[in-house]
Amino acid sequence: MALGRGLGELLGEVESAYENSSQKSKLSILEIDVSLIKANPNQPRKIFDEDKLKELSLSIVEHGLLQPITVIEDGNGEYILIAGERRLRAHKLAKLKTIKAIVTKVEELKLRELALIENIQRADLNIVELAYSYAQLINEHNITHEELSKKVFKSRTSITNTLRLLQLSSYVQQNLASSKITAGHAKIMLGLSDSEQKMVCDSIIGQKLSVRDTEKIVKDLKNKDKVITKKKKEITNYDFKPLDNVLKKLEESKLKVKAEKNYFKIEINSQEDIDLISNYFKLH
């Protein structure tokens, strides 16, 4: 039994939502040709650790598959995978021709929901995959955050905070998914532009910044943006045509004059220039 438990941990297996159903005992385990099994098109899990897959593959070759995958017939003599993506990939990696499988019958509408809920229950699902799984369940099954919290046994607040991570750039999401930055780091970057997020993300990784250090960088960035925006609003391009005569007269007095944007400039190089300007305004 100790060996079984150890291998179970190695395989990273967890029970699926439907594997505890009363029908399980009635379903027989079949040996199905791997080539007849199609990946679930609705599978939310996109990132697989190649090293762990190799480890799983070697274990299956040596000890056999401890937990069968679960599939559904597609009506054309083939099967659609519902649970066991890693196990199926590991079999293909080991070039095994067949795999143990439980063929179950579920409504087509439930196909995606079962795959999503199984993935959410897995301990090794990264937080970005988790966020996408939450979003898919909410959008495609028309459920609220509160209803989802009951389905996956997570708090509504936790679900809402996780979903907010999908607002981040793909660059940040990739680094978060690969654990190069934490969710704490990522949340601080919400509201920044994609280029700012990349700069902050690279700084976190390169300088090993803490969450508090990151908060300071982001705060400085946001304050800098406010100052730049304020300055831009103060600069206005004015029409200087009404001053054409003034400019002409001053230039005739051999004064260097410049008028553009929001300023009127007269260059002074001597006391004589000041006298010329003074005389002009006295005349007008």
What is the distance between the alpha carbons of residues 107 and 105, in angstroms, rounded to a whole number?
Answer: 7
Query: Is 85 tagged catalytic?
Result: yes
User: Tokens standing for 272?
Assistant: 């004589």
Q: If we measure between CA atoms, which residue out of 142, 129, 127, 60 comes closest to residue 95?
A: 60
What is the distance between the alpha carbons of residues 215 and 210, in angstroms, rounded to a whole number?
Answer: 9
What is the distance between the alpha carbons of residues 259 and 243, in angstroms, rounded to a whole number?
Answer: 9
Q: Which of 9, 50, 55, 85 is catalytic?
A: 85
Other C-beta atoms closer than 10 Å to the C-beta of 284 total 8
CA angle 110, 114, 119 (to 5 degrees): 155
Task: List the catalytic residues.
Answer: 85
